Amino acid sequence: MNNNQLEPTTKITDYKERIKAFGLELGVDDIGIASVSNYNSPLSPKIESIFPEAKSIIVLVYKEPANCDSPNRQIAINGRLDLIEFSRSCNYLLARFLEKEFDARAMTVPYSYPIDMSKHGIADVSLRHAAVAAGLGTIGRINLVIHPKFGARVIFTAVLCDLALPSDPLVTEDFCNNCNICVASCPVGALAEAGKTDVSKCSPYIQPHGLKGTIEFWQKFADSSPQQQKEMLMDNSFMELWQFQIVGNIYVCFKCRNSCPIGKR
């Protein structure tokens, strides 16, 4: 069909409506569209370096169930894992819809991992910047996108495509009231500086069995006697490490996001 050519405005509007209707029908909570030219994430790679013909970013919003508010660590993270799994299906189904319905080329952008580990926490596509460009919210003091209806209790995925779809209007209202509750809620002070999350504080705390924790464990293991090594392998911290390796993406802290009063029910 379109081979990157701009279609008459009515047709393009119709495409956008059909794409959004399809996504909402899947169970996604909101969808915004940004033209690639409106995506501006200074630290991230250019979208063209990932997908040279990409013209649009379709950003999918998923409202989280209440799990992350639970003091039970397993229930809290399992709610997120449910959503991550669901979001992969939605990405795939939307990409296939674009291919089948509009003869478009599409590439999916996942929730997070795998990312290029040499880039120190900078993903190939910054979903916060994409969500803002797609009119889905504004960045609050918490450094998360505050969605007009759901606040910070949302996650995002995206689909890049070569259809030239115009951007949705930006959200102009600032939903963050700068109450600073998120800043105070962080047990390691990672939000102390406005406009920046201190990754060296946040990351090892929310993912204690991530890269830093794994290196520390095996370093200690290498420096231990055979008897101590035996004990280390029977210890709960190793079992947690093992669990992290097979499940991945296990966070043990949601405090900033849980503390935000915007959109809380």
**Minimum CB separation from ligand B12 for residue 132, in Å?**
4
Residue 182's Cβ-count burial label (10 Å; 0-12, 13-18, 19+) is buried
Cβ closer to ligand B12: 18 or 255? 255
Burial string for 214-252 (b: 16+ CB within 10 Å, else e) reads eeebeeeeeeeeeeeeeebeeeeeeebbeebeeeeebbe
C-alpha to C-alpha distance for 216 and 214, rounded to whole angstroms: 5
Q: Which two tokens stand for residue 244?
A: 């992290």
**Minimum CB separation from ligand B12 for residue 11, in Å?**
30
Helix axes 226-234, 211-222, angle to 10 degrees: 150
Cβ closer to ligand B12: 129 or 209? 129
Binding stretches for ligand B12 (CB under 6 A) = 41, 43-44, 111-112, 115, 121-123, 125-129, 132, 139, 142-145, 152, 154-156, 191, 195-197, 199, 202-203, 206, 251, 253-254, 256-257
Q: Which two tokens stand for residue 129?
A: 């910047």
**Minimum CB separation from ligand B12 for residue 8, in Å?**
32
**Minimum CB separation from ligand B12 for residue 19, in Å?**
19
Cβ closer to ligand B12: 7 or 86? 86
Cβ closer to ligand B12: 12 or 188? 188
